[in-house]
Structure 1
Amino acid sequence: MVVGELAYEKDLVIIGGGPGGYHAAIRAAQLGLKVTLIEKEKLGGVCLNEGCIPSKILTSAASRLNLLRDSEEMGIGSSQPTFQYEKLRNYQQKVIDQLRNGVQSLIQANKIELVKGNAYFLSDDRIGVEGNDQYEVYQFKKAIIATGTQQPVISGVQIDGNRIFHTKMLQAIPVIPKHLLIYGHNEIALEMASSFHSFGSEVTILLDKENFGFDSSIEKELKRVLKKKKIQILKNAQLMGVQYADQNLLVELQIQDEKISLNGTHLLISTSGVPNTRDLGIERIGVSVNESRYIQTNKQCQTTVPNIYAVGDVADGPAIAVKAISQGKMAAESIAGKLVEFDPNFLPKVVHFQPPIASVGLTEEEAVELGMDVKMGQFPLASNGYATILGKKDGLVKIISDSQTDTLLGVHMMGEGAIELISSGVLSLEMVAREEDLRFPFYPHPSINEGMLEAIEALNGEAVHMPPKKNSKKELIK
């Protein structure tokens, strides 16, 4: 087909079928729009096929394996459980296929046109699509870019899928590594460190920063747990190169002014992605990107070209699926004429570590940097009755509040049930809750939930299952 000879007219064209793209497509269809969704690879994007879902299957398997190992004290089992890694990989693929087929069925049920191919902008109202030896042009009224990110190239490192992997290749790791080196600091780096340690690997984290980006109390507890697991951490490490040495890898690192070499059998690179914007042709139509090439958007996810929107990892902001899902639905609603806006302030951050980590809102350090006069309440799960019953005593609940208004500023958790319980923190911050709003309700007993109640009470030194501070008696005498 000759460019410009014929253009198919569309109401809404979405580029990218990951969480942001397919949620946008379905919500737009629900609101009566005729939608065309363009995906060059697999529906569900990186999250479903390579990232979120594959990694959580591994963390789920590790959690079950740990549970079996830890159950003997309760009189359950008499020998070490068997573990077949190849069988887990088959199960992983089965789940991914089921979920992708589910998305496919939803696309069909909502009468969304699905086009396979590589898309790029010809103008601010036309997209060209190449695929299956065909080239077609689509003229659109509105468009949403949801193309996600790709792994960055690291000089001196050749990712081969044999011994060296990135986090979009989790399914490709053929065996349980004898010594797994993990370079990065993000959620998947921690999740894979915990999981492969549970599978029997020796694990070393090559942390490319000073810390993992959590509140200081969570950082301290996390590093204690890593030490207990005998997972080594090298901080402020920069990956300079990798060489093969017989059955091992020789990884070259720069740590401050020192160059060191480290042996391992496998290397997993888990660093932030690079936005997929270079081949979209957005420069020719005036869509602005920042210095890191993330697309700049307003609160409605509009780019600098008003009829073109961007959502998810390709847009500026945190690269997490919950952001992509929320932005995708919100962008579709905005296009349909609804008055909506995206507010990223209370996006929860979760890590399926062992034990899980979850946080929302300001850390203690961030609140202090903003000049706030803050109170901090912290409660260790070692003092929680139900955590003791479960044998899951690692972790804590920490709550930050404004000492002037008692308004909650942040909720940070590490421990059993943290990922489910953080929703209470998200709702509290969204509703501008004060201390009394979390202190007043009833909490089921016994439960991990009581850790949140005692963290709230600890804001004023009233947590029942914590010993009084050493100076409290002196203060009372005064």
Structure 2
Amino acid sequence: MPDTFDLVILGSGPGGYIAAIRAAQLGMSVAIVERERLGGICLNWGCIPTKALLRTSEIYHYMTHADAYGLSVERASFDLGKVVERSRKVAGQLNAGVKGLMKKNKVKVFEGVGKLTAPGRLSVAQGDKTTDIQAKNIIVATGARARDLPFAKADGERIWTYRHAMTPPVMPTELLVIGSGAIGVEFASFYSDMGAKVTIVEMLPRILPVEDEEVSAFMEKQLTKAGIAIRTGAGLEALTAGPDGVTARMKGKDGQAADEKFSHAIVAIGIVPNTEEIGLEALGVETERGHIKTDAYGRTNVPGVWAIGDVTGAPWLAHKASHEGVVAVEAIAGLDPHPMNTANIPGCTYSRPQVASVGMTEAKAREAGYELKVGKFPMIGNGKAIALGEAEGFVKTVFDAKSGELLGAHMVGAEVTELIQGYVIARQLESTEAELMETVFAHPTLSEAMHESVLGAYGRALHF
């Protein structure tokens, strides 16, 4: 007889393992199936270890600019092997933490490749052994993987995906980053700060294309100032790897194509959902462009089958997956959770400077027909930012002029990935400009720029 559980989760990323913990809290018997490492891509190869790398490059940047702080550092250098080792240790520590959480919450872990075989049934294959599992409900949380260029697949030597870029065998000298979303910009920032000559190529008219246009424009100026070459509106027609580097054929805005040489290339052009060969077709689970279709609670069209995280579509963010996991489990348990609202999910880019946002951009709000009140406060007017020596950037807030609803917030500058949560909470609580104006912000803090931006939207800014 197969092992039987109330809930089985296929995939142990930030969606899967959080769903398992919440289900255990609600008294369910839970199993989780993982083919690689607990914690999934985010913990082992994405969110966390990349931040460890970026912290290293941030410190190295300060070392090489110590004079600006009245300090001196002789012959600043780094050991690439130790840089990577630290990142891997951070990932390993958190992987062990997830193992501990599964044990603490009595979640049964099956190692192997899982596949839905019938309603309420999965098989788990590991080597020549197959285990059958039965469950009242199944959550698919299989995540996604990096998308390859159709004409040049990543080889790990000269052409890299994010996984290769996190464990580089050598330091690139001339690096081509293909794609300017969060992943591309983060790696461009890391390698540039570590001394590589970096070029970003983006087919769309601007970098970080999902962000507010003013943020994109500002980031292009800042990255260019840092020495990164940026080619927007440019197409990549060919990428050929050789023993001493890669040759990229790029078409510019003028329509002319030319070959350029680089030592390495990172492909950051999006993701592919992991929906192949997991049994979806046999059960009739509906997909769209490879992503599983769900309602706002994670239900698919097949009773008892749920899906969360990257496998369900944008935004492809760990915190979105975790929240979806909680919502789905509470719905399974018969509770009354709030439906998932992707408009309140913050987006963060951990480059230098950082970028963070939530809600509508100014352009999207205008397209939606809102009459707007827009506030923008520069970090150069913030005392803490000046004291930190990180006064580049701004905070922008977008309000509905009629109701005072905070439609969106967009930030670029030091530690804005930490600050954005204030606006996320405001949106979740349906706060208006009145509550935000009446809130007391500690001094001196970077968060005061948030207050000033709100005040500025209504002509009341105090420091600008």
**1:193-235 deviations in Å (ceiling 9; x for gaps):** 1111110000000113222121111112111101211211111
Residue in 1 that maps onto 2:48: 53
Residue in 1 that maps onto 2:346: 348
Residue in 2 that maps onto 1:26: 21
Structure 1 portions without partners, runs of 5+:
1-5, 467-478
Task: Give the conservation status (yes or no) of the 8 Å contact 1:438–1:453.
Answer: yes
Deviates more, 1:359-368 or 1:314-323: 314-323
Equivalent residue for 1:331, pick from 308, 328, 332: 328
User: Residues 400-411 of structure 1: matches in 2 within 5 Å?
Assistant: 400-411=398-409
Task: Give the conservation status (yes or no) of the 8 Å contact 2:299–2:306.
Answer: yes
Task: Give the conservation status (yes or no) of the 8 Å contact 1:163–1:265.
Answer: yes
- Structure 1 residue 283 corresponds to structure 2 residue 281: yes
Residue in 2 that maps onto 1:214: 211
How many Å apart are 1:87 and its aligned residue?
0.8
- Structure 1 residue 100 corresponds to structure 2 residue 95: yes
Task: Give the conservation status (yes or no) of the 8 Å contact 2:63–2:73.
Answer: no
How many Å apart are 1:240 and its aligned residue?
3.0
Aligned letter for 1:89? V
User: Residues 141-152 of structure 1: matches in 2 within 5 Å?
Assistant: 141-152=136-147
Task: Give the conservation status (yes or no) of the 8 Å contact 1:155–1:241.
Answer: no
**1:304-355 deviations in Å (ceiling 9; x for gaps):** 1121110000013311101111111221222122111222111000010111
Please say which structure displays the higher CA radius of gyration.
1
User: Residues 40-189 of structure 1: matches in 2 within 5 Å?
Assistant: 40-189=35-184
Task: Give the conservation status (yes or no) of the 8 Å contact 1:185–1:209.
Answer: no
Percent of pairs identical after alignment? 33
**1:366-412 deviations in Å (ceiling 9; x for gaps):** 00000111111101111222211111011100000011122211111
- RMSD between aligned residues: 1.5
Task: Give the conservation status (yes or no) of the 8 Å contact 1:39–1:114.
Answer: yes
How many Å apart are 1:124 and its aligned residue?
1.7
Residue in 2 that maps onto 1:462: 460
User: Residues 255-270 of structure 1: matches in 2 within 5 Å?
Assistant: 255=252, 257-270=255-268
Task: Give the conservation status (yes or no) of the 8 Å contact 1:161–1:172.
Answer: no
Residue in 1 that maps onto 2:372: 374
Residue in 2 that maps onto 1:247: 244
Q: What is the CA–CA distance in structure 2 between the aligned matches of 1:453 and 1:29, rounded to whole Å?
A: 40
Residue in 1 that maps onto 2:315: 318
How many Å apart are 1:10 and its aligned residue?
2.1
How many Å apart are 1:272 and its aligned residue?
1.2
Q: Secondary structure at the match of 1:19?
A: coil
Q: What is the CA–CA distance in structure 2 between the aligned matches of 1:347 and 1:147, rounded to whole Å?
A: 20
Task: Give the conservation status (yes or no) of the 8 Å contact 1:51–1:170.
Answer: no
How many Å apart are 1:191 and its aligned residue?
0.8
User: TM-score under structure 2 normalisation?
Assistant: 0.96
- Structure 1 residue 421 corresponds to structure 2 residue 419: yes
Q: What is the CA–CA distance in structure 2 between the aligned matches of 1:78 and 1:289, rounded to whole Å?
A: 56
Aligned letter for 2:276? R
**1:81-105 deviations in Å (ceiling 9; x for gaps):** 3222211111111111111011111
Aligned letter for 1:53? I
Structure 2 portions without partners, runs of 5+:
none
Q: What is the CA–CA distance in structure 2 between the aligned matches of 1:260 and 1:173, rounded to whole Å?
A: 28
Structure 1 residues 246, 12: closer, same or farther in 2, change over 3 A?
closer
Q: What is the CA–CA distance in structure 2 between the aligned matches of 1:328 and 1:439, rounded to whole Å?
A: 34
Equivalent residue for 1:389, pick from 379, 387, 390: 387
Q: What is the CA–CA distance in structure 1 between the aligned matches of 2:311 and 2:422, rounded to whole Å?
A: 29
How many Å apart are 1:59 and its aligned residue?
0.8
User: TM-score under structure 1 normalisation?
Assistant: 0.93
Q: Secondary structure at the match of 1:342?
A: coil
Residue in 2 that maps onto 1:299: 296
